[in-house]
Structure 1
Amino acid sequence: MPNLLTVLLILSMNMLSAQSNLTGTIKDDKNQDVAYANVLLLSSSDSTLIRGGVADDNGHFEINNVASGTYMLRVAMIGFLDQYSESFSLNGGTPTKDFGVITLKEDAVLMNAVEVVAKKPLFEQKIDRLVVNVANSITSSGTNALEVLERTPGVVVNHQSNTLSISGKSGVVVMINGRINYMPADAVVRLLAGMSSDNIEKIEVITTPPAGFDAEGNAGYINIVLKKSLDNGLNGSYGASVGYGKGEQLNGNLNFNYRQGKMNLYGDYSYSRDAAEQIFAFYRRIGLGGDILETDTRSVRDPGTNNHNARIGFDYQLDKKNVLGLLVDGYDTKWLMDAVNTSFVSRNGHLDTSILINNHELNQWKHIGGNLNFQHTFAEGHQLTFDGNILAYKDNNPTEYVNNYSDGEGNFLFSDESRAHKLTPINIKVGKLDYITGIGKKMKLETGVKGTISHFSNDVGVDYKKASEWVAEDTLTAKYDLNEKIFAGYASIETPLVAKVTLKAGLRYENTNSNLGSEEQPNIVDRQFGKWFPSVFLSRDFNENNSMNLAYSKRITRPTFDDMAPFIIFLDPSTFFSGNPALQPATSDNFKLGLRHKSILFSVEYSVEDSSIAQFQSSVIPGTNKELLFAENLKDTKTLNFTLTLPITPVKWWNMSYNIIGGTQQTRKYFDGKLTKFDFAGFGLFSTQTITLPSNFTFEATGYYGSGGLFGVVKIKGYGAINVGLQKKFGDNGGTLRVGYDDVFNTQKFSGISDLPEQNQYFRASLRFSQPTIKISFTQNFGNQKVKSIGEHRSGAEEERERVKQK
């Protein structure tokens, strides 16, 4: 047996040593880089396709692990004439063949006479992420980023708690252009609701990130990639939309890019307003002193949300090896709501008290951030990148209540007035340094360090009006500060093991130091810990049509600032939000198997999360009919998911896309020392139908349905929606007109139930967060529309921005 292993090892080494790598750079006849050109390796004898590749942003391409033989190269790009190389031979003595610069000539006929349109499916399942091509969707036009996410397979938007989850797992990190957004979860949801989809190129859902990503977020990452053109000169687009669904919806957006020589200036701005009516209902039943108390509340909300988002950036190529970039961005999102709430309290089936509550609330988030980035290329394949950010956020959240009490027969008893305030400034500094280099001819090493320093302050309080004077309620008033430092380092390698098998393995270390307290209560939380986070990815290409990949990563979800601070926020006379300083970090082990046959993809994901953090869990204050909502640690959560992606084209003019998800989830939690198990099995279906019609018309219908899931110990009921749209493109850059109808059957109602019979407690809540809406949108491009290089823009995957959390 040892001799056999030795022979196999020698044969494998000989096979590897007999393989070669091909490199080169593609430019046009004006010496400009041609990005994303197709590079095809053909057999010299019969022109059979052997391998293929795509040039990167700088026109550089690599085709690795090519066996010995005689070949020729074909380079193809829309708008250019195909370019063929002379025949060449490879053998073990030719480890790398460099083609230098390959020059493409424009196809004058095509460039002058044909409008080139690159069509992509709405959903693309890649080896490590799901890509939602927002720019190509008719029904997404005139909407916002949150609505697009809600229609994305595996993503659930909890409209009651304003949180996100992926595949049933909480702990989602949101990035914009590869930079983490450090905001409270509630504020992130509001930001996404105000971000125009017409400024978004694509959204990436990444469930098993590699070591170069922060370990934060057990569910993974959502990366929103904004539009940025690669064309020379001035170009961009503008658009506007108007809609109505029991309240007006308005959107306006502009993005531009000016690229000339070594300089690139880009920016965008969007405004949105959403005044759609919302209806919230809540029911609570508890046992108290031998009685059954029921509280039934209905809230009719008249909110108005106004969002302004803007960014401007500048990149400058100092020389061939150095690029400097600056970016400033900011937003102002203002949520103003008037609500009329009716609450009925019954004892043993008989109405005891009714409360009419008039509620006025303002929640305004403001942000400004600055970014400096620098990239130095030492040599081909050796690169150093620095990325620094200074971020400032501020939230102002005052609320006023007028409560009118009546007895069971409707007779007025009394009224009272109260008001609450919450002021939250956040300041964050982030620095990150990454280095990429090659080791030998085949191995790539990535390593880096990162530091994040945060200061968070939360000033909350409640006042009651007594005898025409406002008096502070001391038990509900406090100011807390949190200082946190997170330092990290990582290293990962990527290398071919044998022919068509690639390994990528990484290890990340993060050290966290957190201190939460107030003047009256210092060191409520004083915690320092360090953890290792390994990740492993293995891919196998069987042939051109079939491949497999395996992935494992260990991740962490730290308690958010508001989750830990022991303040109490007044919601209504019997409902409160509270922090939980006893919260511990949650860690998870995540596994994924992916299979591909042509364009059909199937994946299995399994995760085990210890000390899962569940937000907005209900608990009744002993001896009262008052409910406390707070975050708490569960014992653990186990999740198993299956995903099948099926693109179908029955005829040339009809494209179908189906994403089918099924799985199970199990959560365990201690109640009074007894471990209780909660199980759920469900499925989801996501479909897009695109039909090309004559005269530049296109019809699109999208639909989704999810059968529900677990949110801590709360069981979420199923819901979904069907949306339709019609698009008309006008020739000669006349713009694009779209008409859409969202939620055709009025089915978007989010609801959940928590049934705890052993505690004699039952909770039920629902929120109708949107209404059937008709919308009309128009977009138009401007500037240089003769495409020099067509392809998907790939963001620089530097991270920065998300972790805090607000109720």
Structure 2
Amino acid sequence: MPDFTPSLHCLAPSYSLVTRQLPLLLLGLVPLAGVAQQTAPLIGTVRSETGAPIEFVTLTLHRAADSVVIKTEFSDVQGQFRFDALVGGRYLLSAAQIGYGRYWSPALAVPAAGLVLPAIGLRPSAATALKEITVTARKPLYEHQAGGTRVNVADSPLATGATALEVLGRAPGISTDGKENLSLRGRQGLLVVVDGKRVPLTGADLADYLKALPAEQMQSIELLTNPPAQYDAQGGAGVIAITLKKDQRLGTNGSATLSVGRGGYGRITGGLVLNHRRKNLNLYGNYTYSERRYFTRYDFDRQYAGTSLLPAAASQQFNDQVSHLRSHAAKVGADCTLSKRTLLGASLTGLLSHIDNSVDTQSEFRMLDGSPLSRYTSVTAQNIDRPSGSANLNLRHALADSANAAAFTFDADYGRYHTTRLMAQQANYLEPQYAVNQFDGDQRVDLSIGTLKLDFSQPLPHRARLEAGAKATRVRSDNSTAFFSTMNGTTTFNPFISKDFRYAENVNAAYVSVRTATAQTTVQAGLRAEQTNTLAELSGEAARERHYTQLFPSLSAQRTLNARHALALALARRIDRPNYGQLNPLRFYVDPISYRAGNPDLVAQTSYSAELTHTYRQKFVTALAYARTDQPIVTTAQPSPDGGRLVVSQDVNLASQDYLALTLTAPLEPTKWWSMYANGVFYYLRFRGQLAGTQLNRAQPSCQLSLSNTFSLPRGWSAELSGNYQSSEIWGFEKSTGRGQVGAGLLKSFWNKQGSLRFGATDIFYTSPARFTSTFVNFRETFYKREDLRVVTGTFTYRFGNGKVAAARKRAAGAEDELRRAGGL
């Protein structure tokens, strides 16, 4: 049995920091008049040379000392704008609009009575407009936002030739366990959305989907730890919101990309992005083809307790898997401005992937005294087709001409995910000798998800806003398996494990959220109600039907104490429902003695979370979080109920999980050409529960550390150097060793920034392999996992067409608007 004594080496440096910061964090929540500084209005108007007001001008308030952005607003139909600024503060004001030269004010000092600026006159200038509006600047790789972190994938040299899963694996706070379950800041249970649409997959199925999605398709990723009520309550640990590329430039333009890489095997990715935008219509599309070979290797050591039929034994097993993945990813869409108040959009998205897997296995069983029992080799060939597609129709209508008017947004989404898995497994028993056994499987999955959503936004007096909406989601999954065994030329059908499974889920939801703001305090309170109906049918067994309704309140509050200190508090209740794959009891064989299967007895896990955040100088962030999860879902490995030496990987419910975390974030600029983003998560997990006669009450501190460096070099060069480390951690019955990786990249722009070359190297020192151990009274499993992550890649990108960006809309249409609202908290 392993030693469960907690090691405090990761938390030791953070304990004194907590004791110093906590009194400040708690006292800052009390709005003492003597602590807070006064604010005063900064008011102005934007006009053209003819004196006409200009609407939708982007006004940005900067700190005069270093030009750091403080706030951004838009001018209204009268060209007017307003900021609430700290009395005595010194600021710069900039104004930008398509077709006009950019305006910069002199340094402004805000008096106690406020300041009314002279009218700002914007001058049209073709030369200036081209110079100022052409996209030339790179966004920072990581941006800390209220409620989460934004990863600007499109600007990262290390993203070249990578997959969505690989990019996520290097993001701050993200890690995966030995079975490819994603976690954020040490917690599992995440909602993944792509362009506002939920991906109804988890675990290995979700990992396969993200492996087939090339990074070249992605614009950004948002890691939201405190999503508001507008989001589904699914995702106790938070939300991963992936936004695909969509060109915003005027006219007809696009880009072409070709990427070639080499790890253990070769890989290639090519893509094309096209866009045509004019005054009232935007047509866009993109396509990416990716082909890659990669390996995954497992070394298993297992110990089995004795039973009434079998003696205690141990085994060693070596799995060498080579995969060949080919994927086609595409998206087409159109946005149409029907009137000044009405926007209509439609899009189609498709992802087609085909994987050929070949798994070579060597296994040996022996008694505990070392005497041999059996030995065999096997080859398992799998052909997996995963076509998926989705369609979206969205409509936004404002009730008035003002940019801040009440508005309705309607979305209709439909998606289909299909999987065909053909397996041919040949086992050669060497000791004792038996005839060669051929085992074949044919598995089919049809998954559909349809969603109707209506959102309403209404401004209220005193800088408040009401948001409300309703959503209905329907998921249906049809699954079938057929297994055949062939020995001595005779093929027989296995009816015991060849079955059909159907699952249907309907979730009806409604929410209301109110946000109010004063000069120094912003509060948002939300309540979401979700009514869930599920039906699971397994051939030969009685149907399982469940109906339940739950409420999910959320509260966030932010307070600016003074120019240096700000506080935020977030409270929420969330849920993680098991999806069709976790409930599906049909089997998927990995090798002759290992398979995965769902658990139809799984129930949803619910969690309560609280997070207190302190921000210093608008960039250094300290966050203290606690979460309690009831009936957490964890993945376990256990001897199969079929008996023998079979092992099944399956999800189960435990009793409870407690989580305490301290997160430190520091974006630094040692020089003008060197930017750093440092992130550390120091967390403590405790699990309680029981499985297979084993009582679990295990706790351990752990940490995640990441550091990203970006360098702006002369002559169009830029570079990136990043590293992350995940310490030893526990998850239920499983314990892992520490792991991490270092990557470096170069980017060279040329041809007036129309062309670029990117070079990237990931997991340079090959430190990502890790060991995972699960211990029960009747079984112990340790496996060592290695993946093909040390890769060198080169990418060429060429951009063509107009370089000007279209005017930003105050709010995006359709499902993408849901992401923007949440990200702006």
- TM over 0.5, yes or no? yes
State the shift of 1:74 in Å. 3.8
Matching residue within 529, 543, 546 for 1:527? 546
Equivalent position to 1:361, from 379, 382, 386: 382
For the 8 Å contact 1:52–1:63, the answer to whether it is kept is no
Asked if structure 2 preserves the Cα contact closer than 8 Å seen for 1:22 and 1:99, the reply is: no
Deviations 1:198-233 (A, max 9, x none): 332211001111111000111111011122232211
Match of 1:740 among 743, 756, 760: 760
Q: What CA deviation, in whole Å up to 9, does each residue of 1:32-57 have, x standing for no partner? A: 98978343399xxx999999532469
Structure 1 residues 253-289: Cα deviation after superposition (integer angstroms, max 9, x where no partner): 2212211010011111111112022212222112214
Q: How does 1:335-346 map to 2 (within 5 A)?
A: 335-346=355-366
Q: Report the Cα distance in structure 2 between the residues aligned to 1:639 and 1:72, rounded to whole angstroms.
A: 42
Change in 2 beyond 3 A, CA 1:141/1:586: same
Is 1:242 equivalent to 2:264 in the alignment?
Answer: no
Describe the superposition over 1:577-614 as per-residue Cα deviations: whole angstroms up to 9, x where unpaired: 23222211100011111111122112122111100011
Aligned partner of 1:462 in structure 2 is: 483
Match of 1:541 in 2: 560
Alignment map for 1:97-112 (pairs within 5 Å): 103=122, 105-106=124-125, 108=127, 111-112=130-131
Flag structure 1 segments of 5+ consecutive residues without an equivalent. Answer: 1-8, 802-807
Q: Is contact 1:55-1:61 (8 Å) kept? A: no
Residue identity opposite 1:39 in structure 2: T
1:770 aligns with 2:788: yes
The corresponding residue for 1:646 is 666
Question: Could you tell me which of 622, 634, 643 is aligned with 1:602?
Answer: 622
Please say if residues 430 and 800 of structure 1, whose CA atoms lie closer than 8 Å, have aligned partners that are also in contact.
no
Quote the residue 1:618 is aligned against.
Answer: 638
Q: 1:196 to 1:568 in 2, by over 3 A?
A: closer
Confirm or deny that 1:201 pairs with 2:225: no
Query: What is the aligned partner in structure 1 of residue 175 from structure 2?
Result: 156
Q: Identity over the aligned pairs, expressed in percent?
A: 25
Say which of 723, 727, 738 aligns to 2:743.
Answer: 723
1:255 aligns to what? 273
- Select the residue among 371, 378, 384 that pairs with 2:408: 384
Match of 1:804 in 2: none
Deviations 1:549-577 (A, max 9, x none): 11011100111112223333333333232
* Alignment match, 2:422: 398
Distance 1:102 1:345, change over 3 A: farther
CA distance in 2, matches of 1:773, 1:211: 40
1:741-756 aligned within 5 A: 741-756=761-776
Is residue 142 from structure 1 mapped to residue 161 from structure 2 by the alignment? yes
Q: Does 1:54 align with 2:72?
A: yes
200, 214, 217: which one aligns with 1:182: 200
Q: Which amino acid aligns with 2:540?
A: E
Query: Matched residue of 2:727: which SS?
Result: strand
Seen in structure 2, the aligned counterparts of structure 1 residues 111 and 280 have a Cα distance that, compared at 3 Å, is: same
Residue 6 of structure 1: aligned partner: none
The aligned counterpart of 1:699 is: 719
In structure 2, the CA distance between the partners of 1:356 and 1:548, relative to structure 1 (3 Å rule), is same
Secondary structure of the residue aligned to 2:435 is strand
After TM superposition, the structure 1 = structure 2 runs for residues 21-420 of structure 1, keeping only pairs within 5 Å, are 37-40=58-61, 52-55=70-73, 63=82, 74-77=93-96, 80-82=101-103, 103=122, 105-106=124-125, 108=127, 111-112=130-131, 117-158=136-177, 160-289=178-307, 291-348=311-368, 349-379=370-400, 380-407=404-431, 412-420=433-441
- CA 1:771/1:385 → structure 2, altered by over 3 Å: closer, same or farther? closer
AA at the equivalent of 1:659? N
CA contact 1:750–1:769 (8 Å) conserved in 2: no
Q: Is the 8 A contact 2:46 2:53 kept in 1?
A: no
Which has the larger displacement, 163-172 or 418-427?
Answer: 163-172
TM-score of the two chains, using structure 2 as the length reference: 0.86
What's the offset of the Cα at 1:117? 2.8
Tell me, in whole angstroms, the C-alpha distance in 2 between the residues paired with 1:392 and 1:58.
42
Query: What secondary structure sits across from 1:275 in the alignment?
Result: strand
Residue in 2 aligned with 1:3?
none
CA contact (8 A) 1:195 1:309 kept: yes
- Determine helix, strand or coil for the equivalent of 1:476: coil
Q: TM-score normalized by structure 1?
A: 0.88
Tell me, in whole angstroms, the C-alpha distance in 2 between the residues paired with 1:244 and 1:29: 60
Q: 2:533 aligns with which of 475, 499, 513?
A: 513
Q: 2:396–2:814: 8 Å Cα contact kept in structure 1?
A: no
Consecutive unaligned residues of structure 2, counting only runs of 5 or more, are: 1-29, 820-825
CA 435–463 in structure 1, closer or farther in 2 if over 3 Å, else same? same
With 378-387 and 277-286 compared, the bigger mean Cα shift is at: 277-286
State how far apart, in whole Å, the 2-side matches of 1:695 and 1:66 are: 39
SS of structure 2 residue aligned to 1:562 = helix
Say if 1:18 and 1:175 are closer, same or farther in 2 by CA, change over 3 A. Answer: closer
Report the counterpart of residue 24 of structure 2 in structure 1.
Answer: none
Using a 3 Å threshold, how does the CA distance of structure 1 residues 181 and 110 change in structure 2: closer, same or farther? same
Offset at residue 423 of structure 1 (A): 0.4
Distance 1:431 1:48 in 2: 46
For 2:87 and 2:363, how far apart are their aligned partners in 1?
A: 78
For residues 142 and 40 of structure 2, the distance between their equivalents in structure 1, rounded to whole angstroms, comes to: 35
* Structure number having the greater strand percentage: 1
* Distance in 2 between residues matched to 1:699 and 1:595, nearest whole Å: 31
Following superposition, the deviation at residue 793 of structure 1 comes to 11
One-letter amino acid of the structure 1 residue matched with residue 197 of structure 2: R
Pairs within 5 Å for 1:787-802: 787=805, 798=816
* Whole-Å separation in 2 of the counterparts to 1:784 and 1:178: 28
CA shift, 1:704, in A, is: 0.9
SS at match of 2:167: helix
Q: Deviations over 1:691-743 (max 9, x none)?
A: 33332222321111111323331112221111112222113245111222221
Q: How far did 1:244 drift?
A: 0.9
CA contact (8 A) 1:194 1:271 kept: no
- How far 1:438 sits from its partner (Å)? 1.3
- RMSD, aligned CA: 3.8
